């Protein structure tokens, strides 16, 4: 069987099974998720045993310690996966919400309601928890799931899917709504990306290379989750006592994630006073500084090590304790820098001046603008969504952290009493 | 200059000019549209003269009468274009709308607001009115426009864009927010579709072949506007006195458009009584009938000409006075037929039974479900949107008729007072 035939078959099976989801009540979907959570806890020994096989294969294959850590399941992590499923089950039902309604002059009633996409494909990398996290978010939002994880996690993913399907078999929802896509070869990914009419949406989660590949090759609509080159701009009207902790938090608290800051922009009016303070604090926190020419002079005068930042530095999502610092002379100049180097993820302004904040927002063109707070808050859990399937880095459909709601589309229900168009 | 360099340059120019749009007030955008409408009226002689050149070239090139009619501008049509721009200017401002807001336990305020996409590319065919219709919708929603029309309309499109840009030159909005993409060769379309990071969204409007090409070749996110194989299902609990006018209206009122019906599904319980009536009325309205085996027997007994419908018939968007008729034995069977042959556009149910309507809706998987009314109502103007840039036939972002609102994305404004993440 060709990879495309395989994927089409899996998608057809998932779609047919999906009818049990689109006709299920919210209470039935909620109960199904709780059954899944219970099953994951009850069968944690099996899950850990399968994961041990992946870990052993990963060590033999020479995976680095960071990848091995992502792959690893522990009793606590399995507990956490079950807890996540239970948490999603307790969120408000995202389906059947009336988003807009009106009555037309001819008496026809219009109602726009939220409905599932249908069949959603997830393409992701090593972490096996994504298998359950994604499946429960998709199920709760009424969608059948085609899950394509990494071959390095194949044993873990297989047992997790089996446990979820076995659990669903005891409910009104067909176990076939979750389909694990074989991960041995890349052809299944390509087939998934080209299953137009069979798969409604594909969401890639992983490296920039993976996401670029998905965008290039997909004929199925996709939502990119992507890189964050986030900026913190300290305005001339900043409260500098707020600015410093926000800079440190944005850069240092968890540098490996997409909402960490990569570049600090200082307004020229506060740079002479504030740059030495900020650079010293960053240096003491272990952050390597890449400075523009003006900042470099300040750093040298203050005796703080720094290198001259290149264009490449300003484009880089470090993921580590490194930061770029540049001096700008206005909100517009900060915005122009961000437009040139940013990735439209999260941009922060620290300012007490409402007009400057307003202009920064109007020019920001990103998923989230932080006003006097840390870039680290662009996060589904922090923002109270309860669950997050990823952070959309594109403008189409959903932008920023995506929870249950982002996994729904809409339909118009147009109710008449025999009206025809004249 | 390569086509890609050209498109990137046009997009960069449009984006830079777009800053005058993203910082403009709704009143300024509204006034700009009114200035455009006035200019189109004032310069209609020039516009008609340019259109005459396209018409002459079209006749020489042997374009068929339908294409020539699409290409043609008349004084009334030019008036209509100006009127359309004025109408859009009077719609509520779609920008800066607060879609969701909340305050987190840490005191941070979350607000999700509507913002422009930035730069939107339109790829369309012969009708020159689309040049203005699209430009004014994009401008009113704060977006810069890259317009790629048909080479057959090049003189008309050039003068229309020049008139709009000249009008903008008298306002606070930069004329560069409207860019006409040269239409001489196909390379500019491909370059537009691959201007990732330069163009935020591409919307194709036109033939199925054009849309398929856009979907296949685009790395920029797209919204498909597409084909409609729409069904009317007459349930066993239908009020047949409503059913007949709805069937005729859905098929006959304007068969060439995407929301016209192509297939009539009859519940077996009413088929013996109702099929002869419906087939007779369709026949008298000049509609050619393609019937499934069961319906064919009824047609023959009633002396109404009909041919046996093939799988290909059921997949076809006729765009003409032809219809398929089939008999089904339940809502589920109707839904299964629709799932197999439909294009997820508009599906109608005629029924007085609430449970059956509910189940039909749950299984419909389309942009609009019509309950006891005509499929012809899936239309932005009919639905009160005031303007329509197309009907989305996909699930991502916008589904169904797209007005101003569909041309916006969102951003999160996260306002704190120095909060950091712990």
- List, for residues A28-83, the tens digit of each pLDDT value: 999 999 999 999 999 999 999 999 999 999 999 999 988 899 999 999 999 999 99
Q: What is the pLDDT along chain B (422 residues), one digit of tens a residue?
A: 899 999 999 999 999 999 999 889 999 999 999 999 999 999 999 999 999 999 999 999 999 988 899 999 999 999 999 999 999 999 999 999 999 999 999 999 999 999 999 999 999 987 899 999 999 999 999 999 999 999 999 999 999 999 999 999 999 999 999 999 999 888 999 999 999 999 999 999 888 888 889 988 999 999 988 789 999 999 999 999 999 999 999 999 999 889 999 999 999 999 999 999 999 999 999 999 999 999 999 999 999 999 999 999 999 999 899 999 999 999 999 999 999 999 999 999 999 999 999 999 999 999 999 999 999 999 998 998 888 899 998 999 999 999 999 999 999 999 999 999 99
Whether B66 and chain A come into contact, CB under 8 Å, resolves to: no
Residue A126: pLDDT band with limits 50, 70, 90: confident
User: Which are the contacts of A42, defined by CB distance < 8 A and separation ≥ 6?
Assistant: none
Contact A411 B223 (CB under 8 A): no
Alpha carbon B230 to chain centroid, angstroms: 15
Whether A243 and A261 have beta carbons less than 8 Å apart is answered as no
Taking the C-alpha atoms of residue B160 and residue B181, their distance in angstroms, rounded to an integer, is 13
CA-based nearest residue in chain B for residue A343: B197
Contact B396 A399 (CB under 8 A): no
A207-215 long-range contacts, CB within 8 A, separation 24+: A207/A125, A210/A123, A210/A125, A213/A189, A214/A123, A215/B196, A215/B219
Count of alpha carbons within 13 angstroms of residue A417, beta-carbon side:
6
Whether B137 and B145 have beta carbons less than 8 Å apart is answered as no
Residue A290: pLDDT band with limits 50, 70, 90: very high
Looking at the complex, report in whole angstroms how far the Cα of residue A353 sits from the nearest Cα belonging to chain B.
Answer: 13
Taking the C-alpha atoms of residue A192 and residue A221, their distance in angstroms, rounded to an integer, is 11
Taking the C-alpha atoms of residue A62 and residue B188, their distance in angstroms, rounded to an integer, is 47
Q: What is the pLDDT of residue A384?
A: 86
Q: Which of residues 227-266 of A touch B (CB under 8 A)?
A: 239, 241-242, 245-246, 248-249, 253
Backbone torsions φ then ψ of B342, nearest 5 degrees: -75, 170
Q: What is the pLDDT of residues B295-333, one digit of tens each?
A: 999 999 999 999 999 999 999 999 899 999 999 999 999
Looking at the complex, report in whole angstroms how far the Cα of residue B159 sits from the nearest Cα belonging to chain A.
Answer: 31
Q: What is the pLDDT of residue A381?
A: 87
**Full strand arrangement of the beta sheet holding A322-328:** A307-308, A288-291, A322-328, A261-267, A230-234, A346-350, A368-371, B408-415, B109-116, B98-103
Contact A411 B196 (CB under 8 A): no
Backbone torsions φ then ψ of B387, nearest 5 degrees: -160, 155
Residue B170, burial from CB neighbour count under 10 angstroms (0-12, 13-18, 19+) = exposed
Question: In B270-352, which ranges are E strands?
Answer: 288-291, 307-308, 322-328, 346-350
The partner residue sitting opposite B118, judged by closest CB among A215, A365, A416, is A365
Whether A351 shows a pLDDT value over 90: the answer reads yes
**Full strand arrangement of the beta sheet holding B178-180:** B178-180, B144-148, B119-124, B201-205
Q: Which residue has the tokens 């001489």?
A: B184
CATH of A3-226+398-415 given 3.90.226.10, 2.60.40.10, 3.40.605.10, 3.40.50.300: 3.40.605.10
Q: What is the pLDDT of residue A226?
A: 78
Largest CA distance in chain B: 81
Q: What is the pLDDT of residue B131?
A: 97
Taking the C-alpha atoms of residue B146 and residue B189, their distance in angstroms, rounded to an integer, is 11
SS3 A394: coil
Residue A1: pLDDT band with limits 50, 70, 90: confident
Interface test with B, best of A142, A411, A413 (most B CBs within 10 A): A411
Question: Which H or E run contains B21?
Answer: helix B3-22
Reported pTM: 0.92
Q: What is the pLDDT of residue A216?
A: 87
Q: What is the pLDDT of residue B358?
A: 95
Nearest C-alpha neighbor of A379 from the set A265, A370, B197 = A370
Q: Which of residues 108-147 of B touch A (CB under 8 A)?
A: 108, 110, 115, 117-118
Contact B415 A359 (CB under 8 A): no
A193-222 average pLDDT score:
91
Contact A110 B384 (CB under 8 A): yes
The partner residue sitting opposite B395, judged by closest CB among A19, A201, A339, is A201
Whether A184 shows a pLDDT value over 90: the answer reads no
Question: Which H or E run contains A347?
Answer: strand A346-350
Q: Domain map of chain B by residue range?
A: 3-226+398-415, 230-382
Whether A265 and A326 have beta carbons less than 8 Å apart is answered as yes
Taking the C-alpha atoms of residue B235 and residue B263, their distance in angstroms, rounded to an integer, is 14
Taking the C-alpha atoms of residue A212 and residue B288, their distance in angstroms, rounded to an integer, is 49
Contact A22 B395 (CB under 8 A): no
B340-344 long-range contacts, CB within 8 A, separation 24+: B340/B314, B341/B229, B341/B231, B341/B263, B341/B314, B341/B315, B342/B229, B342/B230, B342/B231, B342/B366, B343/B226, B343/B227, B343/B228, B343/B229, B343/B230, B343/B317, B343/B393, B344/B393, B344/B395
Question: B288-291 and B201-205 as β-strands: parallel, antiparallel, unpaired?
Answer: unpaired
Taking the C-alpha atoms of residue A86 and residue A75, their distance in angstroms, rounded to an integer, is 17
Contact A371 B196 (CB under 8 A): no
User: Which are the contacts of A85, defined by CB distance < 8 A and separation ≥ 6?
Assistant: A33, A34, A36, A37, A40, A132, A136
User: Which are the contacts of A277, defined by CB distance < 8 A and separation ≥ 6?
Assistant: A240, A244
Q: Which token pair is A377?
A: 């808050």
Whether B27 and chain A come into contact, CB under 8 Å, resolves to: no
Helix A268-284 × helix A293-302 angle, to 10°:
60
Nearest C-alpha neighbor of B23 from the set A369, A348, A356, A367 = A356
Taking the C-alpha atoms of residue A117 and residue A405, their distance in angstroms, rounded to an integer, is 11
Q: Which residues of B fall within a CB distance of 8 Å from A364?
A: 411
Nearest C-alpha neighbor of B241 from the set B330, B352, B324 = B352
Q: Can you say whether residue A352 is alpha, beta or left, with left for phi > 0 and alpha for psi between -120 and 50 degrees?
A: alpha
Q: What is the pLDDT of residue B225?
A: 86
CB atoms within 10 A of CB A286: 11
Taking the C-alpha atoms of residue B114 and residue B262, their distance in angstroms, rounded to an integer, is 37
- Domain A230-382 architecture: 3-Layer(aba) Sandwich (3.40)
The more confident residue out of A385 and A330 is A330
**Full strand arrangement of the beta sheet holding A144-148:** A178-180, A144-148, A119-124, A201-205
Q: What is the pLDDT of residue B385?
A: 86
Looking at the complex, report in whole angstroms how far the Cα of residue A242 sits from the nearest Cα belonging to chain B.
Answer: 5
A403-411 average pLDDT score:
95
Whether A88 and A388 have beta carbons less than 8 Å apart is answered as no
Contact A104 B383 (CB under 8 A): yes
What percent helix, strand, coil does chain B show, rounded to 5? 45, 20, 30
Contact B415 A372 (CB under 8 A): yes
Whether A219 and A199 have beta carbons less than 8 Å apart is answered as no
Whether B202 and B124 have beta carbons less than 8 Å apart is answered as no
Q: Report percent pLDDT > 70 for chain A.
A: 100
Question: In B104-187, which ranges are E strands?
Answer: 109-116, 119-124, 144-148, 178-180
Cα dihedral: A295, A299, A304, A308 (round 10): 50
Residue A185: pLDDT band with limits 50, 70, 90: confident
Contact B414 A373 (CB under 8 A): yes
Contact B22 A362 (CB under 8 A): yes
**Whole-number mean pLDDT of chain A?**
95
Query: Fold match between A3-226+398-415 and A230-382?
Result: no
Q: Which of residues 188-227 of B touch A (CB under 8 A)?
A: 196, 200-201, 215-216, 219, 221-223
The partner residue sitting opposite A396, judged by closest CB among B201, B215, B248, is B201
Whether A374 and chain B come into contact, CB under 8 Å, resolves to: yes
Question: B288-291 and B322-328 as β-strands: parallel, antiparallel, unpaired?
Answer: parallel
Looking at the complex, report in whole angstroms how far the Cα of residue A235 sits from the nearest Cα belonging to chain B.
Answer: 14
Contact A117 B395 (CB under 8 A): yes
């Amino acid at each position: 069987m060709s990879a495309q035939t395989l994927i089409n078959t899996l998608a057809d099976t998932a779609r047919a099974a999906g009818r049990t989801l689109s006709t299920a009540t919210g209470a039935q979907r909620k109960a199904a998720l709780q059954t899944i959570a219970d099953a994951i806890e009850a069968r944690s020994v099996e899950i850990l045993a399968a994961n041990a096989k992946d870990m052993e294969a990963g060590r033999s294959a020479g995976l680095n310690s960071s990848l091995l850590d992502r792959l690893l399941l522990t009793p606590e992590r399995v507990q956490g996966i079950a807890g996540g499923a239970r948490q999603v089950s307790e969120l408000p039902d995202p389906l059947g919400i009336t988003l807009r309604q009106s009555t037309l002059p001819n008496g026809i009633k219009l109602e726009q309601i939220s409905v599932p996409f249908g069949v959603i494909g997830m393409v992701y990398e090593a972490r096996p928890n994504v298998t359950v996290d994604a499946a429960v978010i998709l199920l709760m939002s009424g969608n059948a799931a085609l899950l394509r994880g990494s071959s390095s996690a194949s044993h873990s993913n297989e047992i997790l899917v089996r446990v979820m399907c076995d659990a669903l078999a005891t409910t009104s929802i067909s176990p076939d709504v979750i389909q694990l896509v074989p991960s041995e070869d890349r052809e299944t990914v390509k087939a998934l990306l080209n299953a137009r009419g069979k798969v409604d949406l594909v969401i890639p989660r992983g490296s920039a290379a993976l996401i670029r590949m998905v965008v290039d090759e997909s004929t199925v609509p996709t939502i990119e989750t992507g890189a964050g080159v986030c900026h913190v701009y300290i305005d001339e009207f900043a409260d500098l006592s707020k600015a410093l902790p926000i800079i440190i938090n944005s850069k240092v608290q968890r540098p490996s994630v997409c909402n960490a800051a990569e570049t600090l922009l200082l307004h020229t009016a506060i740079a002479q006073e504030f740059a030495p303070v900020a650079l010293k604090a960053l240096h003491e926190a272990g952050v390597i500084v890449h400075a523009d020419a003006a900042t470099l002079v300040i750093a040298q005068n203050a005796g703080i090590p720094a290198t001259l930042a290149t264009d490449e530095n300003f484009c880089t999502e470090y993921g580590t304790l490194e930061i770029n610092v540049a001096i700008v002379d206005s909100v517009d100049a900060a915005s122009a820098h961000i437009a040139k180097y940013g990735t439209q993820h999260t941009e922060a302004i620290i300012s007490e001046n409402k007009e400057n904040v307003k202009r920064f927002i109007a020019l920001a063109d990103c998923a989230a603008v932080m006003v006097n707070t840390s870039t680290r808050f662009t996060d589904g859990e922090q923002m109270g969504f309860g669950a997050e399937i990823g952070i959309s880095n594109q403008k189409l459909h959903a932008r920023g952290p995506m929870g249950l709601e982002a996994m729904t589309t809409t339909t118009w229900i147009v109710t008449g009493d025999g009206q025809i168009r004249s």
